[in-house]
Structure formats: C-alpha cells, structure tokens
C-alpha cells in the first residue's frame, strides 16, 4: 500500500531548496531554469536509489540543516561534505543513508565543497510551477510547498512510501566518480560569443593564469577574480544566455552564469563552461583556485556522456535524453 512519509525540519540552515531537473520551455516568458547547481552530485544521489535522474532532490547549501525522521526511509547523500551526522554519528557523502523513525540527520559546516544533495525514494514531493518543482526564490516558483521558499524550521519534507517497482540499486558511488572538492578546480570552457574581441594578452591570461572564486557568488552567478580582461569589446544588444555562460562586464572580471541566471544579457561572453565544469564550479567556496582550459563541444559532450553512462550502470531508469543533462551543452 502506498502513502507518504516525512522528515520534519528542526533547523533550516542558510539555504535548503528542493530541485528537480529544472524548468524548460519557459525562457521566452523570462523565467529561468533552476535545478541543481551540481547536477553531477544530484544525479548520483538519485542513481543510488534507482530514481529517474529528474527526481526532486534537496540541495543543501553550506550546512546548518537538521531533519527529524518521522518514518523509516532509505535516502542517499552525495556532493559536499557538510559534516553530516545521524544521531551524532558521522556520515560521509556519496552513499545511501538508512534512517529509522526518530533518527536525527544534521549538517554542520562545509569541510569540502559547498552543496550536498539528499535524495529520497522516487524523489521528494513538492509543488510544481510551470511543470517543475525546481525552487527559484527570486521568481517565487516551485519548492517543497510552492512559492519558491527555502526550508524553514517546522516545515515537512515529504516522500513516497510503499508502491511497486522501486528499490535502491547501490550502497555507494564508485570511488572513481567521487570529486575531491579540495583540489583546484580545472574548468573546461568552450570559447564562443565575443571571444575574438578580447585582446591577445587577455586571452593568454584567461587560460594560463589562476582565478579565484569571489565572495559574490550565488545560484544566479559566480564571479571570478584575477587578471583584468580587456579588448575592443562591442556595444551589444542583449542576447540569450545559456547555463554556464561566462560574461565579462566592464571591470574585466568574469561572471559565470548559473542555474538561476537571467534569461538575456548584454555583456561580452568569453564562452560557456562545459556541463562538468559548471557542476564543479558550484562546489567552490570563496577564494578557491580556478583554472580555465579551452575545450571543444565534442570533448565536453564526451565527458558528460561518460558521467551519465556510469550512472546508467547503476539504474536503467536514467536516460541520456534527460533535460537535466542533455540540454546543458
């Protein structure tokens, strides 16, 4: 017999948001995509439970969250190490988590990475807006109770119980696919847009100097600080912005546009981060070293396919045609 169980929010933390694959087919309305900032970690969490890759997960930024289980449930935790613990017993990421009724799952402070992803059987239950439960606070869309709200103390986070056809498929993510977020981030960037308008010195330094993640970083965009990029940059009419677009405003410091970005922009673009690079950048704290490397669409797609096919090895429910990944290129 099917039904629902729940985890009660004891402590909310700075930002915990429900995210599914994202909101597609609405950019002409000025609505952004949403979805998990680190699609790689979110997809692995779903893969461990045999969920579709688009199933809603909980994105936990910076820790500080505490949940009380009011029913037995098998979850999966992937992504950042936020000092998670079950009843004060340390819990490492990239594995399944068994909770019993009355257990307390709590997150402390970031130790490695910035965002952890918690998956539930068949995905967490949320309120869909424009075909998606992806929570975009700026636009008031989606989330666990609609209206684009983050989790708050006293809220309920619901999941499906019972029913046929669901079973966890693995206890942990293979070591080869876990990311060491403490290492410098080496990001593949597909040169595009107005790259030819930047001068030679700027292009050399863009791909040969260290960048650092600025304190001005959120789900809309992540600024990088480093060499000043200049050139004969054109006055532009605003154009459509893809996820991972790297714009360069007049101060010469790049902005990597992420899931909650605006739909159009008028700054010159250096190029677009590959899907794997965009996921990696989402886990970088302020001050973290970043290196950009030029890559082509073919290698970027091949890298993405390898990651998704590894997840497919755990669950046949995952699809290479999923909008959470296939539309990221």
What confidence tens digit (pLDDT) does each residue in 35-86 have?
999 999 999 999 999 999 899 999 999 999 999 999 999 999 999 999 999 9
Domain covering 185-232+239-295, topology? Cyclophilin (2.40.100)
Q: How far apart are CA 259 and CA 187, in angstroms?
A: 17
Cβ atoms of 164 and 57 closer than 8 Å: no
Label the pairing between strands 185-191 and 245-247: unpaired
The pLDDT tens digits of the residues spanning 208-246 come to 999 999 999 999 999 999 999 999 877 788 889 999 999
Q: How far apart are CA 108 and CA 73, in angstroms?
A: 22
Output DSSP code: residue 278: H
What is the model's pTM? 0.92
- Whether residue 151 is predicted with pLDDT greater than 80 in this model: the reply is yes
Compute the half-sphere exposure of residue 29: CA atoms within 13 Å on the CB side of its CA.
9
The pLDDT tens digits of the residues spanning 236-289 come to 888 899 999 999 999 999 999 999 999 899 899 999 999 999 999 999 999 999
Q: What is the pLDDT of residue 27?
A: 83
Q: How far apart are CA 60 and CA 79, in angstroms?
A: 10
Kindly report the backbone phi and psi dihedral angles of residue 312, in degrees, each rounded to the nearest multiple of 5, phi listed first. Answer: -60, -30
Where along the chain do the CATH 2.40.100.10 domains lie? 185-232+239-295
The pLDDT tens digits of the residues spanning 291-308 come to 999 999 999 999 999 998
Q: What angle do CA 268, 271, 273 make, to 5 degrees?
A: 135
Q: Residue 90's beta-bridge partner residues? A: 85
Q: How far apart are CA 208 and CA 212, in angstroms?
A: 13
């Amino acid at each position: 017999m099917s039904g629902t169980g729940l985890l009660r929010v004891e402590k909310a933390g700075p930002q915990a948001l429900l995210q599914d694959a994202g909101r597609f087919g609405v950019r002409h309305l000025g609505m952004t995509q949403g979805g998990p900032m680190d699609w790689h970690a979110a997809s692995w969490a779903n893969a461990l439970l045999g969920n579709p890759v688009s199933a809603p997960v909980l994105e936990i930024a910076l820790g500080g969250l505490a949940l009380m289980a009011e029913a037995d449930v098998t979850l999966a935790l992937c992504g950042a190490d936020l000092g998670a613990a079950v009843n004060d017993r340390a819990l490492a990421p990239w594995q399944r988590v068994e909770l019993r009724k009355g257990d307390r799952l709590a997150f402390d402070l970031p130790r490695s990475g910035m965002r952890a992803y918690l998956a539930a059987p068949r995905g967490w239950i949320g309120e869909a807006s424009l075909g998606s439960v992806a929570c975009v606070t700026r636009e008031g869309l989606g989330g666990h109770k609609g209206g684009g709200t983050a989790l708050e103390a006293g809220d309920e986070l619901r999941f499906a119980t019972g029913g046929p056809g669901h079973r966890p498929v693995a206890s942990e993510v293979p070591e080869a696919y876990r990311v060491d977020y403490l290492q410098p981030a080496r990001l593949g960037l597909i040169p595009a847009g107005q790259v030819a308008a930047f001068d030679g010195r700027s292009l050399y330094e863009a791909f040969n100097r260290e960048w650092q993640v600025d304190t001005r970083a959120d789900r809309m965009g992540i600024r990088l600080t480093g060499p000043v990029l200049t050139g004969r940059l054109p006055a532009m009419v605003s154009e459509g912005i893809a996820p991972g677009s790297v714009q360069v405003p007049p101060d010469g410091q790049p902005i990597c546009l992420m899931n909650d970005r605006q739909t159009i922009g008028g700054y010159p673009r250096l190029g677009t981060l590959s899907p794997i690079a965009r996921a990696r950048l989402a886990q970088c704290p302020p001050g973290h070293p970043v290196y950009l490397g030029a890559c082509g669409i073919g290698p970027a797609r091949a890298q993405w396919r390898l990651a998704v096919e590894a997840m497919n090895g755990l669950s046949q429910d995952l699809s290479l045609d999923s909008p959470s990944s296939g539309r990221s290129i």
